[in-house]
Amino acid sequence: MAGDAQVKRRAFLRDTAALAGAVAIGAHAQGGLAPSQDITPLIAKIAGGRKVEPGGIDIDIPQVAENGNSVPAHIKVESPMTPDDYVGAIHVFAPRNPRPHVATFHLGPQSGRAEISTRIRLAGTQKVTVLAALSGERFRMADFEVLVTSAACLDESSI
Amino acid sequence: MLLGRVQVPRSVRKGEIVEVRVLVQHPMETGFRRDMNGQAIPLNILDKVTARYGGREVFSAELGSGMSANPYIAFYVRAEASGDIEVEWSDDHGEKGRATATLSVG
């Protein structure tokens, strides 16, 4: 009967789709690279529930980093840096690193410029996220996607 | 004693914004690596850097394992008067180090 064939086909499609889904989840969990961790709790802890606005941060990192062990990063937050309006702290996160919190830099009006240059480790291609804490309990956030061809922290044999 | 250095421009004008560059010798072991015998290399991170200018704290940083080995940090400070920029750092084993650069404001 045509109706019977239709039911079998439907069941077959449903079962194969479920199987494909299970395989995809398994592959994702066992992948060589660690998946991106959710850094929202880290950000919420710093911001303490206050509003985080996007933008106003210039993240200068090479789009393609050949060696994840040392990636030059230059971070600039737009701010007049006066005693009334300044950047108090710059937090850097790499969500795919084993420990996503990379560093926190504390500045103040005496800094003159809300700018930092440093070198960071990146365990794979990921969105480097920067949270800036401004005076008056304001927060700004921005991210930047970096393609890493040779990741840091992963190859344990090459020591 | 953890070695490192601090660099500032040779001479600056009053009110000028000066770049201070800090470089510290440190392996920044993540704790995830293993040595040739398969033994885990313990975590060892330079986690604190503090800079004072004229005795007042002008910059500090808390670092994690995501910082590259031999951490390099460049930050800015407004030159007000001639004086020393003293930078101190310490790691999670309690090892410390410091270096000073003199800012001459002309």
Of the options 3.90.1010.10, 2.60.120.380, 3.30.70.270, 2.60.40.2470, the CATH number for the domain spanning A40-150: 2.60.40.2470
Residues B45 and A103: their CA atoms lie apart, in Å, by: 12
Integer Rg of chain B from CA: 16
Identify each DSSP E strand in chain A by its residue range: 52-54, 57-60, 64-67, 71-77, 87-93, 101-106, 115-120, 126-134, 138-150
Cα–Cα nearest to A134, from A103, A94, A107:
A107
User: Token pair of A121, please?
Assistant: 């480790």
DSSP state of A78: -
B76 at interface of A, judged by CB pairs closer than 8 A:
yes
Single-letter code of the amino acid located at A154: L
Taking one residue from A and the other from B, the number of pairs with CB-CB distance under 8 angstroms is 98
Residues of chain B in contact with residue A60, where contact means CB-CB under 8 angstroms, are none
B104: Cβ contacts below 8 Å, ≥ 6 apart: B10, B11, B12, B82
User: Are A107 and B59 within 8 A, CB to CB?
Assistant: yes
Range of the domain at B82: 4-105
| Terminal Cα distance for chain B, rounded | 34
Nearest CB to A102 within list B53, B60, B66: B66
Nearest CB to A103 within list B30, B32, B66: B66
**CA dist list (Å): A110 to A113, A117, B5, B51:** 8, 17, 22, 12
B89 at interface of A, judged by CB pairs closer than 8 A:
no
ipTM, two decimals = 0.95
pLDDT tens across the length of chain A (159 residues): 556 666 777 777 777 766 665 555 544 443 456 688 899 999 999 999 899 999 999 999 999 999 999 999 999 999 999 999 999 999 999 999 999 999 999 999 999 999 999 999 999 999 999 999 999 999 999 999 999 988 875 554 443
B47: Cβ contacts below 8 Å, ≥ 6 apart: B62, B63, B64, B90, B91, B92
Domain ranges of chain A: 1-31, 40-150
Is the confidence at residue B102, as pLDDT, over 90? yes
B75 at interface of A, judged by CB pairs closer than 8 A:
yes
Per the structure, the count of domains in chain B is: 1
Q: Which residues pair with A145 in a beta bridge?
A: A127
User: Token pair of A128, please?
Assistant: 């480097």
Nearest CB to A97 within list B61, B66, B69: B66
Tell me the CATH number at B61. 2.60.40.10
pLDDT tens digits along B49-76: 999 999 999 999 999 999 999 999 999 9
The pTM score is: 0.84
